Amino acid sequence: MESTFADLMARLDFALITSLHIIYPPLTIGLSLLIFFAEWRWLRTDQEKWYRLTRFFEKLFIINFGAGVATGVTMELAFGILFGPFSTAAGPVFGHLLGFETITAFMYEAGFVGLMIFGWHKIGRGMHLFATFNVAVASFLSAFWIIAANSWMQSPAGVKMVGGQFLVSDWVQIIFNPDSMTAIPHMIIACLELSLFFVAAVSAWQLLKQRHVSVFAPALRAVLPVLLIAAAGQIWIGDSLGRTVAEEQPAALAAMEGHFKTHNADGTPNTSWNVVMWPNADNSGTKWALPIPHVLSLLEDHKWVSRVPGLDQFKAENRPPILVPFYSFRVMVAIGVALFGVALWGVWLWVRGRLANRKITDFENRWFLRVVVVSAFLPYLAIWTGWWTREVARQPWIVYGMMTVSEGRSQISSAGEIAWFVCFSIFGFGVLISTAYFLFKVIAKGPDMSAKIPRENEEDHQPLGTLPPIETAAQGQ
């Protein structure tokens, strides 16, 4: 029992820091691309609105970026601290993947983000666009490596197991493992969708307040069609990922769908899909459920009748927990569909010309704008629930089918585990609350419409700050 509690604490410790980290990177990843787009439009068209949008969203970007870096450094070291035996065993594969991420993405991004934020008026406009471009590329690379590493834990491939270690035998197989081929696009589209909704919601909020309509109405109109494509694509890729999971991790899929019995009582395949259900006390079946026949085989195999392995095919100790994957999966899917609906509504309004600047100043479509503002929170929830589904459904494995969480965790005393949980809860939520506060503050303040617009060949080397009353500076000594 003691070890079960310690396993749970180790998982909770890591779940806490990952959950409090994954809030920030998706916005960094998606928004960097959108800022690049706005800045590129500005350079091409020389229209002021694009410059204002670039600078405004850049301010939001950097607040979010700082929080992402602050919580992200923890992640890397936490593997060694909390999951030492896993780090030793999987280091040759997993550690190198994280190392590649650090070198090709993290460092790369850090090298240009300073230029992007503080380089205005110091470097040329073209050079600045180049810096923004590199930040966007680096953050996409970062997503690529991290998801590749996580996917390898879901569907380990390309390794040889020698002496308690996973040794590299084929990098191509490791990086392009079956899971990563759908998980990487799924996450990248998620980042884009989240950021598009973020931009849409910030714009919609400003429009509801009738502020800077000439800046934000074009922004809203620009993101809506992309949003529709992203939301539709996400549903399609999500379905592909579900089928990959069905193939690679049948136990995980069974848990996500609450699918206990492979066969019905009469021997035919059980094809019922549970809309909602509650497992019975010993996790061997449902206490109650709302099943729809044939939907499960349609979803997993795209066939009317097919055999989908249920949880009864797996030994009791190899079955994942059911409640968390089942319900968080449903929340994620529901959000995905709802966001598609919002995007569809928006595009419909846009096609009918009802989002034109004049219509907005006439206070039209206020309900749509309100819905968009609220929708911005949904992608965050979807990413959380998606990751909870993915990670909990992999249990009890840390490397699927090869190494369990219990084997992979460091033998830290419960006091240590609890201290970690408490400290990182305080700091993690502190960072989250302050980040949210400053984001809202900058959004409420709106773009700075009077700042000087950089012109070509005008970069100056003024000191970073303005001159102060000097006397006050020395008083502290």
Which residues between 385 and 414 bind another protein (CB under 8 A)?
Answer: 399, 402-404, 407, 410-413
Report, in Å, the least distance between residue 340 CB and another protein: 34
Burial bucket for residue 24 (CB in 10 Å: 0-12, 13-18, 19+)? buried
Task: Pick the closer one to another protein by CB: 154 or 274.
Answer: 154
Q: Of 186-245, which residues contact another protein (CB under 8 A)?
A: none
Report, in Å, the least distance between residue 251 CB and another protein: 18
The number of angstroms, rounded, from the C-alpha of 18 to the middle of its chain's C-alpha atoms is: 11
Contact stretch for another protein (CB under 8 A) within 202-210, 306-314, 320-328, 418-426: 418-426
Task: Pick the closer one to another protein by CB: 74 or 240.
Answer: 74
Among 15, 19, 47, 123, interactor with another protein by CB under 8 A: 123
Report, in Å, the least distance between residue 394 CB and another protein: 15
Task: Pick the closer one to another protein by CB: 335 or 403.
Answer: 403
In DSSP terms, 41 is beta-bridged to none
Q: What is the 3-state secondary structure (H, E, C) of the chain?
A: CHHHHHHHHHHHHHHHHHHHHCCCHHHHHHHHHHHHHHHHHHHHHCCHHHHHHHHHHHHHHHHHHHHHHHHHHHHHHHHHHHCHHHHHHHHHHHHHHHHHHHHHHHHHHHHHHHHHHHCCCCCCHHHHHHHHHHHHHHHHHHHHHHHHHHHHHHCCCCEEEECCEEEECCHHHHHCCCCHHHHHHHHHHHHHHHHHHHHHHHHHHHHHCCCCHHHHHHHHHHHHHHHHHHHHHHHHHHHHHHHHHHHHCHHHHHHHHCCCCCECCCCCECCCEEEEEEECCCCCCEEEEEEECCHHHHHHHCCCCCCCCCHHHCCHHHCCCCHHHHHHHHHHHHHHHHHHHHHHHHHHHHHCCCCCHHHHHCCCCHHHHHHHHHHCHHHHHHHHHHHHHHHHHHCCEEECCCEEHHHHCCCCCHHHHHHHHHHHHHHHHHHHHHHHHHHHHHHHHCCCCCCCCCCCCCCCCCCCCCCCCCHHHHCCC
Among 122, 261, 294, 307, interactor with another protein by CB under 8 A: 122
Task: Pick the closer one to another protein by CB: 280 or 411.
Answer: 411
**Closest to 416 in 3D by CA, of 86, 79, 81, 85:** 81
Among 3, 45, 126, 168, interactor with another protein by CB under 8 A: 168
Task: Pick the closer one to another protein by CB: 122 or 359.
Answer: 122
Report, in Å, the least distance between residue 217 CB and another protein: 26
Contact stretch for another protein (CB under 8 A) within 1-9, 45-53, 75-83, 304-312: 75-83
C-alpha distances in Å from residue 430, one per residue of 14, 27, 377: 17, 19, 19
Our finding on whether 164 is near another protein (CB under 8 A) is yes
* 421 touches 81 (CB < 8 A): no
**Rounded to whole angstroms, how far apart are CA atoms 54 and 114?**
15
Our finding on whether 172 is near another protein (CB under 8 A) is no
Our finding on whether 435 is near another protein (CB under 8 A) is yes
Our finding on whether 422 is near another protein (CB under 8 A) is no
Contact stretch for another protein (CB under 8 A) within 229-237, 298-306, 359-367, 429-437: 429-437
Report, in Å, the least distance between residue 348 CB and another protein: 38
Task: Pick the closer one to another protein by CB: 247 or 407.
Answer: 407
Task: Pick the closer one to another protein by CB: 342 or 412.
Answer: 412
In DSSP terms, 404 is beta-bridged to 397
Our finding on whether 114 is near another protein (CB under 8 A) is yes
Task: Pick the closer one to another protein by CB: 66 or 309.
Answer: 66
Q: Of 80-109, which residues contact another protein (CB under 8 A)?
A: 80-81, 83-92, 94-104, 106-108
Our finding on whether 442 is near another protein (CB under 8 A) is yes
Which residue, chain included where needed, has tokens 């998620």? 190
Q: Of 447-476, which residues contact another protein (CB under 8 A)?
A: 461-468, 470, 472-476
Our finding on whether 344 is near another protein (CB under 8 A) is no
In DSSP terms, 288 is beta-bridged to 278
Our finding on whether 140 is near another protein (CB under 8 A) is no
Our finding on whether 149 is near another protein (CB under 8 A) is no
Our finding on whether 429 is near another protein (CB under 8 A) is no
Task: Pick the closer one to another protein by CB: 97 or 376.
Answer: 97
Q: Of 263-292, which residues contact another protein (CB under 8 A)?
A: none
Report, in Å, the least distance between residue 107 CB and another protein: 5
**Rounded to whole angstroms, how far apart are CA atoms 297 and 304?**
6
Our finding on whether 431 is near another protein (CB under 8 A) is yes
Our finding on whether 416 is near another protein (CB under 8 A) is yes
Report, in Å, the least distance between residue 420 CB and another protein: 6
Our finding on whether 69 is near another protein (CB under 8 A) is yes
**Rounded to whole angstroms, how far apart are CA atoms 192 and 189?**
5
Our finding on whether 129 is near another protein (CB under 8 A) is no
The count of residues interacting with another protein (CB under 8 A) is 101
Among 120, 152, 327, 387, interactor with another protein by CB under 8 A: 120
